[in-house]
Each structure stands twice: as structure tokens, then as C-alpha cells.
Amino acid sequence: MITPPEDTSPDPPRATQALFLERQSYRRRRLVDVARLLPLLGALLLLVPLLWPGESTGANGGLETPMSTAITYIFAVWAVLIFGAVLFGIAARRWGGDTRRADTDT
């Protein structure tokens, strides 16, 4: 399922600015790694509540997790994921010109 980093591969290094380009594309790749990990992280975080004691598991009333806690947790995770997506979107926009060229050219 994991795609190779199609258009994130470094530009062919040019003699004069090879170092700069290398570093930039390296960072881009790592950023894409993060973007790829984001949904996985989200899925994991959203599985966490399943470990909480619920009505079915804990019949002894006091251990139940209150609904408000669950709501707070899930919406917090949700917001974090959205925030991550915003950051990645901004980053992607910054090298948007590059991606577009790399995408359409090849």
C-alpha cells in the first residue's frame, strides 16, 4: 500500500546548488513521511478508547469512563489531526510550484 515517494525524489543535483537542493528535498521527503504517518497515528489514537473500561466490561459502575471524557478525547485527537493536515497543506503549498512542475513534467 505504501507508494514510493513519486514526485518527492530530489531534483537532479546541479553542481552549483547541489547542497541546497539536497537538503530541501530531503526535508520535503521527511515531511511527506509525516503526512503519511498522520492517518496511521490518527487510527491508533482513535483505537485507544477501545481499551477504556466501558459499560460492557466494567459492571462495577465506578470504573466506567464518562461520556464527556470520551467526547473530549476524541474531539481533541480529531483537532490535532486537522492541525497536522493544515501544517502539511501549508508546507505542500510552499513547494507547490515544485510539485506541480515535477508532477506534470515527468
Partner 1 sequence: MTSVNLLILVCIGYVALLFGVAFMADRMAARGRSTWLRSPLIYTLSLSIYCTAWTFYGAVGYAARSGLEYITIYLGPTLVMIGWWWGLRKLVRIGRSQRVTSIADLISSRYGKSTFLAICVTLLAVISITPYIALQLQSITLSFETFFAADPGSGYSSGSSVFWVASGLAVFAILFGTRNLDANERHHGVVTAIALEAVVKLVALLAVGIFVVWGLSGGVSQTMARIDASEIGAWQVDAGRWTTITFLAAAAFVCLPRMFQVMVVENDDERHLRTAAWAFPTYLLLMSLFVVPIAAVGLEIMPDGSNPDLFVLTLPLSQGQDGLAMLAFLGGFSSATSMVIVAAMALSTMVSNHIVMPIWLSSRGGGASQSGDVRKVVLLSRRLSIGAIMALGYFYYRLSGGGAALASIGLIAFAGIAQILPALVGGLFWRGATRTGALAGLVTGFVLWLYTSLLPGMGSMMSGDFLALGPFGISWLRPQALFGITGLDPMVHSVMWSLILNATAFTVASLLSFPSPLERLQGAQFVNVFDHSVGPRGWTGSVAQSEDLMIMSQRILGANQAQAMFQSEAKRQGADGHLPEPTPAFLERLERELSGSVGAATAHAMVGQIVGGSSVSVEDLLAVADESAQMLEYSSQLEIKSTELSHTAGQLREANDKLMQISHQKDAFLDQVSHELRTPMTSIRAFSEILRDTDGLEPSEKVRYATIINNEALRLTRLLDDLLDLSVLESGQVSLDIRGGILAEVLDHAVSSALSGEDAPLQVHRVTDSENVALLSDLDRLAQVFINLISNAQKYCDARDPAVQIDVHQQAGFLVIDFIDNGSGIAADTQAMVFEKFARVSTDKAGGAGLGLAVCREIMHRLGGDVRYLEGQAGGAFRVTLPSRQPNRQPSHRAAAAQ
Positions that interact with partner 1 (CB under 8 A): 1-3, 6-7, 32, 35-36, 38-40, 42-43, 46-47, 49-50, 52-56, 64-71, 74-75, 78-79, 81-86, 88-89, 92-93, 96, 100, 103-104, 106
CB of 99 to partner 1, least distance (A): 8
Q: Which is nearer to partner 1, 19 or 67 (CB)?
A: 67
Q: Which is nearer to partner 1, 21 or 46 (CB)?
A: 46
Cell numbers 460492557 label which residue?
56
Q: For residues 39 and 81, what is the distance between their CA atoms, to the nearest angstrom?
A: 8
| Residues 6 or more apart whose Cβ sits within 8 Å of residue 65 | 49, 52, 53, 54
How many CB atoms are located within 10 Å of the residue 40 CB? 9
Taking the complex as a whole, the smallest distance from the CB of residue 9 to partner 1 amounts, in Å, to: 10
Distance, CA of 54 to CA of 35 (rounded, Å): 32
Q: Which is nearer to partner 1, 22 or 55 (CB)?
A: 55
- CA 44: distance to chain centroid? 12
Amino acid at 16: T
Smallest gap from Cβ 60 to partner 1, in A, equals 12
